[in-house]
Copies of this chain bind each other. A is one copy, B any other.
Amino acid sequence: MWKKILLFGVSGAALLTVGILVGHFGISQDLSPAWVNEVSQDVDEALIEQFIKEVDNKNIEQNLKTLASDPHMATTPGDEKLVKFMLDRWKDPNTGLDETWRQTYKVFLSFPDMNKPNCFTVVSPTDTIQYTSRLKEKAYTEDQNDPEVVQPYAAYAPAGHPKGKLVYANQGKVSDYEFLNKTIDLTGTIAIVRYGGAGRADKAINGARFGVAGVLVYTDPADINDGKMSDANETYPHSWYLPPSGAERGSFNGYFGDLLTPYYAAKEHTYRMPVSDITGIPPIATQPIGFEDAYALICKLDGDEAPAVWQGSFNCTYKLGPGFSNTSAFANSDVQVNVYNKGEMKDSANVMGVIRGSVEPDRYVIYGNHRDSWVHGAIDPSSGTAVMLEITRVLGKMVKEGKWRPRRSIIFGSWGAEEFGLIGSTEYAEEYYSKLRDRTIAYINVDISVFANATLRAQGSPAAQSVIFTAAKQVKTPGSQTTSVYDNWIRYSNRSSPSYGIIPSLGYLTGAGSDYAAFMHYLGITSMDIAYTYDRSKTKARIYPAYHTAYDTFDYTSKYIDPGFTSHQTVARTAGNVLLRLADSLVIPFNPSDYAETVEQYYSTAAESFTDKMSTMGISLEPLNAAVKRFREATSFLNQQIHNSDMAKETPLKIRRINDQLMFLDRAFLDPMAFPDKYHYRHVIWTSRSSGVATFPGLADAFAKADNSGLKSDWEQVEKHLTIVIQALEGAASTLEAVI
């Protein structure tokens, strides 16, 4: 009986235990809401490896061939064809995105007149035309003969036919004209200037201030061709160098976004300011020309010898003018600039596509590239478009196969009308300002993906340095199984960091060179720009020589820029890797301490450059120093918060809180009142700077102005800009410190 009772008891206990175990482990999961595991989902390293593996160079090559097959200047039929191509790709049922659509803005563009091509002529005193410049670049391949190839022109330069004595004005900087103005009356002259040194529009704006009536711009072989000039054997099609007739087109526009609707999205009904109120564009006729035409002029100039640093590669001594030498064929002749440009309202499309986030759909990572080119634009921008399409193919496939969905939403933008002034991306930023500001983690820009095939080149907010480095360490350099992009990069471009020692040098986004501008400067979104670039020890070219010319074709790219397309592949892998980490990481992979390092560097440069003079003016940098220190401490504090706990076990709202602190760090540097004369520039650390002192830009420019003028009101502006920087730094520190 006892046995039975014992058996009964033991069996009972066992069954009870089994029951408890079953109850606890077998079905107890039901009690935890389904989302508990989901919210702590982190980046999947295996998936990133898989992504890297699947990015294919042949696909990119094929993409590029299609993209660059026709000229696709903004709003032309070639552009429209690519709009449809992008939409098709992103709607592909097997490799497309969740959703894609076209978004159109009505924008103010500027075009030459196909029937009356721009040119310059040399006109004798008896009104005989002695020389006429080329109306188009020389064709070496069939595609360069396409009637859709727009002739070189200066977009937004006004129509006009000024005629006058020629002067050589170096790069068209204020200091260049000032120099000429000492000995030459510039009134009514035509200035010939080189690309470089000043913004395109500034070359004309500066000249007009001194009375110059027209401007010709060319690229000196010294600046682009390492001195090479002959297309018989030196330049394209024999090498990557610019042929003699090649001329850089461009937007001669100092601002970004649609010129008639600053701050407001250029929709059908949007108010447009009068065209006559536009500032920042040339007030005088301006035309870019090839160096063969420039050569015909410059080597015949009369007057004093130009300074040594003004000399270029032509086999003559560059003289200042005015006018031509009495011994030249053009003696006593004038130069007439003939420009027939006209402004036109056009519908320009962005193509947008999204992959919805699973856990935090209201957090965005935006990846963008512009679609429009000047001519075939194989490199600018289609090298970037080809990369973007390969990234979306691989990611789209993973989504369609149900293998992956990002934690956060990813937005892809194929921007329109970038070449005219970053218009598509800026109008988008204006239209969706509030929600983009409130929700966007980061913006990744890949415009030209491959300038050359030597090394990675990345620019960005310092907050993004760490994630770029992580990706660059994981991706291998083209053709290598062992050398990482990071290790290769550090050989070409590095700096000494107080925290890390020698590291690759991440550039800053201080200008408006591509579509990151509206995101970084106007929205304060942590942004970055990624590409492959030159071995600077091998060329002095200011950019790849076919830039903005009819020679930027598939042929040129595949022969001279990236044969095999492995650098394209490497950029796709690196940028895609960054994208995946930003979209999927539980904690946003930004390191605020890297921001502190930049700010400290800025401060020490300011202290070195300004302290002496400022003390004599009774202005102390100490409050700025204190703000920099507080910012550093705040970055350390937040990093401790992140690293001192196991984030996967934390409440999702605590992680979100930290992520919001990281997301809003760059936003805290926005000050819409800081730069009243600069449209769209609001970021106190990264706004464009004229001063050569690499420090807080508003402070540097205010100091330069006051130091030059000595005016009390200008020194007050220095004090004001100190306050602006201090409040921004303290605001940013507040964002990172304990939330309450």
Report A's interface with B, CB cutoff 8 A.
4, 8, 11-12, 15-29, 31-33, 35-36, 38-39, 261, 263-265, 267-271, 273-274, 354, 356-357, 359-362, 364, 409, 411, 430-435, 438-439, 620, 622-623, 649, 651-653, 656-657, 660-661, 664, 667-668, 670-673, 716, 719-720, 722-724, 726-727, 730-732, 734-735, 739-740
Contacts and interface: CB of A to CB of B under 8 A. Distances in A.
Contacts of A356: 740
Contact of A32 (B36, B434, B671): B36
Contact of A19 (B22, B268, B668): B22
Contacts of A362: 657, 660-661, 739-740
Contact of A271 (B267, B268, B656, B716): B716
B664 A434 contact: yes
A652 B17 contact: no
B651 A38 contact: yes
A265 B727 contact: yes
Contact of A15 (B12, B273, B354): B12
Contacts of A364: 740
A332 B458 CA distance: 82
A660 B270 CA distance: 29
A25 B23 CA distance: 8
A245 to B, nearest CB: 44
Nearest to A626: B269
B731 A433 contact: yes
A350 to B, nearest CB: 15
B740 A652 contact: no
Contacts of A28: 23-24, 28, 31
Contacts of A411: 740
Which of A4, A438, A620, A622 neighbours the largest number of chain B CB atoms within 10 Å of its CB? A438
Nearest to A432: B734
A316 to B, nearest CB: 51
A637 to B, nearest CB: 14
8 contacts: A4-B4, A15-B15, A20-B20, A33-B649, A264-B727, A359-B653, A431-B731, A435-B668
A660 B8 CA distance: 60
Contacts of A649: 33
A739 B409 contact: yes
Nearest to A435: B734
Closest 8 CB pairs of A and B: A19-B19, A23-B23, A28-B28, A269-B623, A20-B23, A35-B651, A23-B24, A362-B739
B270 A723 contact: yes
A290 B493 CA distance: 76
Best-buried of A28, A357, A359 by chain B (most CB within 10 Å): A28
B8 A19 contact: no
B740 A657 contact: no
Residue of A263, A269, A431, A740 with highest tally of chain B CB at under 10 A: A740
Contacts of A653: 35, 39, 359-360, 652-653, 656
Contacts of A433: 731
A740 B409 CA distance: 7
Given A19-B23, A270-B723, A438-B664, 15 more contacts: A8-B11, A12-B15, A21-B23, A23-B23, A23-B26, A29-B31, A31-B32, A33-B36, A33-B651, A39-B651, A360-B653, A361-B657, A409-B740, A433-B731, A652-B653
A438 B354 contact: no
A413 to B, nearest CB: 14
Contacts of A671: 263
A668 B723 contact: no
Given A19-B22, A651-B39, A656-B656, A735 B435 contact: yes
A188 to B, nearest CB: 33
Nearest to A24: B23
A735 B357 contact: no
Contacts of A439: 739
Contacts of A668: 434-435
Nearest to A436: B734
Contacts of A409: 739-740
Contacts of A273: 716
A580 B530 CA distance: 49
Contacts of A731: 431-435
A352 to B, nearest CB: 11
Given A23-B19, A23-B22, A651-B38, A361 B31 contact: no
A639 to B, nearest CB: 17
Contacts of A18: 16, 19
Given A271-B719, A656-B653, A730 B431 contact: yes
Nearest to A524: B434
A219 to B, nearest CB: 38
Contacts of A33: 32, 36, 649, 651
A38 B653 CA distance: 11
A435 B661 CA distance: 9
A266 to B, nearest CB: 10
A16 B435 CA distance: 55
Contacts of A735: 434-435, 438
Contacts of A652: 35, 39, 651-653
Contacts of A360: 653, 657
Contacts of A724: 264
A271 B727 CA distance: 11
Contacts of A38: 651
Nearest to A99: B740
A559 B380 CA distance: 80
A362 B274 CA distance: 46
A656 B661 CA distance: 15
Contacts of A740: 354, 356-357, 361-362, 364, 409, 411
Contacts of A357: 740
Contacts of A664: 434-435, 438
In this complex, the member of A17, A434, A623 whose beta carbon has the largest number of chain B beta carbons within 10 angstroms is A434
A673 B263 contact: yes
Nearest to A665: B434
A652 B409 CA distance: 17
A723 B274 CA distance: 15
